[in-house]
Chain A
Amino acid sequence: MTTNVASPRSRRRFNARVAEATMLPVAFVVVVAIFGLLRPSTFFQFSNFTNILGLNSVELVLVMALLIPLTNGDLDLSVAELSGMVAVLVGWLNVNHGWPIVPAILVGIAAAAICGMVNGAIVVRFDVNPFIVTLATGSVFDGIAFWLPDQQTIPGISPRLTQWTVLHHFLGIPLDFWYGVVILVIMFYVLTFTPFGQRALFVGQSREVARLSGFNVKSTRFWGFAVAGVIAGISGVISDGVLSTATPQNQGTLLLSVYAAAFLGLTTVQPGRFNAIGAGISVFFLAVAVNGMNLLGAQTYVQSLFYGVFLVVAVVLSRMIARGRAASAAT
């Protein structure tokens, strides 16, 4: 009797879950189809796809920086500025000071690690809102980025870096994409297959539960920020390679695009959790949409509009998923 009642309901619930997890991939296909129909000659070129994959590695890497802090329940708003600062720092050492590129990169990433640790230390030690702290440190990083090269663009960064990011290919796709994939896989592993990742879930869900379970909440949050710093640094280095110049600039659009991707990723693959694969797919979903609109002749300011709208849509969607789960749990 009860099984008769329960089975259609559980089937419906299962269907809802599948629909939920595949919503974004389906939307992806639809978007590709639409642009393909509208601009079949340019959009469907193989080079267009390799371009999209190769040119969005900065976003792909940077969104991975957000995942551990977000799982911990922390917002890190400084990652984009930090990425920009490291890009400038590496270029400045390499071009203005004649350092070989490898030591310049190592120093850049070390600096990024220290900046991430400073974020974490301030947040954890003084128990202050990370939103405000990283908003402020982001502004500091931005300031340093403009200060180092005296507000000038740094041209002519070592061609070796460019070779090892965009010029060398693997399976027909530039290497920088594969760097992003490697970081994605590592992040997926850390969040899904390590006790650290699972403890971070508890920290993000309820600090009190985590604390009374003997988890070191402070250290988990601290390392979240530190890792975010390192990954942001890597994305800065990749941006040097892609552009072969470093320009101090406002990173608002970049920050918005990675947050849009992280929250959009929350709705797919492992719905309700910040997950690496979902975030990775979302980066390219957004990139394809922007690329398509550019091919249709849209101006660059469309990006700002688009990322803003999508961040709102993603947050609302993820909220609806959480509510839907609560409701199905209640029945």
Chain B
Amino acid sequence: MHGTDQAAPTRLAGPEVPALEASGLAKRFGSFQALKRVDLTIYPGEVVALLGENGSGKSTLVKILSGYHDPGPGGSLKMNGVPVPLPVPLGQARTVGLSFVYQDLGLAPDLQVVENLFIGRRVTSGVGSFARIRWGAERERAREIFESYGVSLDPSVQVGRLRPTSQALLAIVRAAEELRRHRGAHEQGGGVLVLDEPTVFLPEHEKVFLYDLIRRVVADGIAVLFVSHDMTAVREIAHRAAVLRDGVKVGDVSMATASDADLIELVSGHRLDRAAIEAATTHGSDAPTEPGGEVVLSARDVSGGRVRGVDLDLHAGEILGVAGLLGAGSEDLPYVLFGASGGTGRLTLPDWTGDVAELDPARSIRLGMALVPADRKAQGAAAELSTGLNMLSLSLKSFVRHGFLRVDNLIGTANRRAETYDVRPRNAALAMAALSGGNQQKVVLARWLEQKPRVLLLHEPTQGVDVATRHQIYELMRARAAEGVAILWVTTDFDELATVSHRIVLCAHGAIAGTMAPPFSRDRITSEVYSAAARGAANEVRTAS
């Protein structure tokens, strides 16, 4: 055993067996080392926060624990002192005492609370498949369980009708019960509950219910690994924080001694020169780098989805980065502005002024807007149709000659475009699914750029795209901006934002929380975004109470 944890748990003394003891966990994807020999120890009854920005290796670590990834050789895992062979059998993590709650909670919204709680383990009488489900007894049992966790939920209500917070409570209770059962079956302690971003979409003032529940679970002797961006939540319930950056564990600190600034510094790797940052943000809006182009999109008090009351001016020729944590509202902004997800507020474009509610995608396209969605599979392109058709789907009419759509001309044009945008392989007749993620994205970009939009709304435009292609996309966008296109770039990849943005707005809790002017660095953006989120959370609690 060669644990490198500097900080002992503040909570308990005495020689205790760790609930989870991982060492040397590593994972490589091709040439990219996502996780580099990370050690992690969690003691029973302890909450350890796992911090790190996107791409820091957090989700890779969680996926190794869940069995989704096979870690590289040299890694080892002990649960409650017992070595567990790696990889953890996929879907069987609970058999070694690990239980997970993900952001999407994994509940069936159409079923009742009790059905979700006992999924796969109904209270029955009888044998095997002939067993009869005892609904009454089951509800009674559910009530007892909820009571034991101090949660008030009606077992017979449909899950989809519950508030998001109640759904999260249900998911956590279910996972904790799984661990209780595991402990009962093996007559031992231990058990680790992994909470992966469970608070992202919950209203700030309701998160206390979650904290209370987690404290109860912990009082039971269960250990919790709390993966989150949410500094307030981490501050509230974690005893210790493990911080990842670029796949390396850069810190393992006791929450009793670490300040918020310390944590932000660890996460971002950025020495906070507080005075300098203050200066940069306060002078950001009237900095000399203010773009000179005319305003081509002006939003006033735009709301919709998680976006609330956003004011925004987008200038011709600028790349405006929007930085926000997951759930901050930035991820909804492009769709709201495009009229694809409903919303309200005033929007002014060169040829049009009106309410966002009057827009729909067809109209937005006519007005010179283009949207590149993040979810390429579901929203960006039709995987089974040809590359050429996907690339030229917006200009089909221009290939009609004498009443006939000339597919051969279309494929020919698409092949020339494939040359321009460097889509490989250069065969536009191939199905989209045959291309790599990066090339698919180039096809999607080509489709929109060929419309000569004046406003380009990008959401995670390099998600699932290899490094080389990424830089091609940056170059492409810079060139378009230089030609006068206004680009709104929304991503949680702050490295990317630092690379491409002329100006950055910070988004927190659905609203614009500040503007940054260059010079940008990933670390500076990260620390600004976390600070903005923390400020916003404080405000929200104040106004809600």
Find chain B residues with CB under 8 A from A213 CB: 361, 365, 393-394, 447
Q: A212-B373, A214-B361, A272-B384 are in contact. Are A325 and B379 (CB under 8 A)?
A: no
Asked if A49 is at the interface of the complex by the 8 Å CB criterion, the answer is no
Q: A193-B405, A198-B393 are in contact. Are A211 and B340 (CB under 8 A)?
A: yes
Residue of A nearest to B366 (CB): A214
Find chain B residues with CB under 8 A from A206 CB: 378-379, 382
Contact with A along B251-295 (1 / 0, CB 8 A): 000000000000000000000000000000000000000000000
Complex contact B431–A195 (CB within 8 A): no
Partner of B379 from A189, A195, A209 at Cβ < 8 Å: A209
Within the complex, what minimum Cβ distance (angstroms) separates A329 from chain B? Answer: 4
Find chain B residues with CB under 8 A from A205 CB: 382-385
Within the complex, what minimum Cβ distance (angstroms) separates A101 from chain B? Answer: 33
Residue of A nearest to B360 (CB): A214
Within the complex, what minimum Cβ distance (angstroms) separates A25 from chain B? Answer: 22
Complex contact B389–A198 (CB within 8 A): yes
**CA A326 to CA B434, docked complex, whole Å:** 8
Asked if B400 is at the interface of the complex by the 8 Å CB criterion, the answer is yes
Measuring CB to CB, which residues of chain A are less than 8 angstroms from any residue of chain B?
189, 192-195, 197-199, 201-202, 205-206, 208-209, 211-216, 272, 322, 325-326, 328-330
Find chain A residues with CB under 8 A from B362 CB: 214-216
> How many residue pairs bridge A and B at CB < 8 Å?
78
Asked if B538 is at the interface of the complex by the 8 Å CB criterion, the answer is no
Complex contact A325–B431 (CB within 8 A): yes
Q: A208-B378, A326-B433 are in contact. Are A192 and B405 (CB under 8 A)?
A: yes
Q: A192-B407, A193-B404, A198-B405 are in contact. Are A212 and B384 (CB under 8 A)?
A: no
Interface residues of B in 315-372 (CB under 8 A from A): 338, 340, 360-366, 371
Complex contact B380–A209 (CB within 8 A): yes
Q: A195-B397, A209-B380, A213-B361 are in contact. Are A201 and B433 (CB under 8 A)?
A: no
Find chain B residues with CB under 8 A from A193 CB: 403-405, 407
Q: Kindly name the residue among A198, A325, A330 whose own CB sees the greatest number of chain B CB atoms within 10 A.
A: A198
**CA A192 to CA B403, docked complex, whole Å:** 11
Within the complex, what minimum Cβ distance (angstroms) separates B448 from chain A? Answer: 9
Asked if B84 is at the interface of the complex by the 8 Å CB criterion, the answer is no
Residue of A nearest to B379 (CB): A208
Residue of B nearest to A201 (CB): B385
**CA A254 to CA B361, docked complex, whole Å:** 41
Residue of B nearest to A211 (CB): B361
Complex contact B379–A212 (CB within 8 A): yes
Complex contact A194–B379 (CB within 8 A): no
Asked if B381 is at the interface of the complex by the 8 Å CB criterion, the answer is yes
Q: Tell me the interface secondary structure of chain A in the complex.
A: helix
12 other A-B residue contacts (CB within 8 Å) besides A205-B385, A208-B378, A212-B379: A193-B403, A193-B405, A195-B396, A195-B405, A198-B405, A199-B393, A206-B382, A209-B379, A212-B361, A214-B365, A325-B433, A330-B434
Measuring CB to CB, which residues of chain B are less than 8 angstroms from any residue of chain A?
338, 340, 360-366, 371, 373, 378-385, 389, 393-394, 396-397, 400, 403-405, 407, 430-431, 433-434, 447
Complex contact B361–A199 (CB within 8 A): no
Find chain B residues with CB under 8 A from A272 CB: 384
Residue of A nearest to B381 (CB): A209
**CA A300 to CA B405, docked complex, whole Å:** 44
A to B CB contacts below 8 Å, 25 in the list = A193-B404, A193-B405, A194-B405, A195-B397, A197-B405, A198-B389, A198-B393, A198-B405, A199-B396, A201-B385, A202-B382, A205-B384, A209-B381, A211-B340, A211-B361, A212-B371, A214-B364, A214-B366, A214-B394, A215-B362, A272-B384, A322-B384, A325-B384, A325-B431, A326-B433
Find chain B residues with CB under 8 A from A192 CB: 405, 407
Complex contact B378–A329 (CB within 8 A): no
Within the complex, what minimum Cβ distance (angstroms) separates A86 from chain B? Answer: 30
Complex contact B431–A329 (CB within 8 A): yes
**CA A170 to CA B340, docked complex, whole Å:** 53
Find chain A residues with CB under 8 A from B404 CB: 189, 193
**CA A197 to CA B393, docked complex, whole Å:** 11
The 8 closest A-B pairs by CB, nearest first: A214-B362, A329-B434, A195-B396, A205-B382, A214-B365, A214-B361, A193-B404, A329-B433
Within the complex, what minimum Cβ distance (angstroms) separates B271 from chain A? Answer: 42
Complex contact A201–B382 (CB within 8 A): yes
Find chain A residues with CB under 8 A from B340 CB: 211-212
Residue of B nearest to A204 (CB): B382
**CA A33 to CA B354, docked complex, whole Å:** 69
Within the complex, what minimum Cβ distance (angstroms) separates B542 from chain A? Answer: 38
Find chain B residues with CB under 8 A from A322 CB: 384
**CA A201 to CA B410, docked complex, whole Å:** 16
Q: A212-B361, A212-B373, A212-B379 are in contact. Are A202 and B384 (CB under 8 A)?
A: no
Residue of B nearest to A331 (CB): B434
Find chain A residues with CB under 8 A from B394 CB: 213-214
Within the complex, what minimum Cβ distance (angstroms) separates B399 from chain A? Answer: 8
**CA A192 to CA B394, docked complex, whole Å:** 16
**CA A295 to CA B269, docked complex, whole Å:** 84
Within the complex, what minimum Cβ distance (angstroms) separates B453 from chain A? Answer: 12
Q: Kindly name the residue among B361, B362, B430 whose own CB sees the greatest number of chain A CB atoms within 10 A.
A: B361
Find chain A residues with CB under 8 A from B380 CB: 209
Within the complex, what minimum Cβ distance (angstroms) separates A253 from chain B? Answer: 32
Q: A209-B380, A214-B365 are in contact. Are A201 and B389 (CB under 8 A)?
A: yes
**CA A214 to CA B360, docked complex, whole Å:** 8
Find chain A residues with CB under 8 A from B383 CB: 205
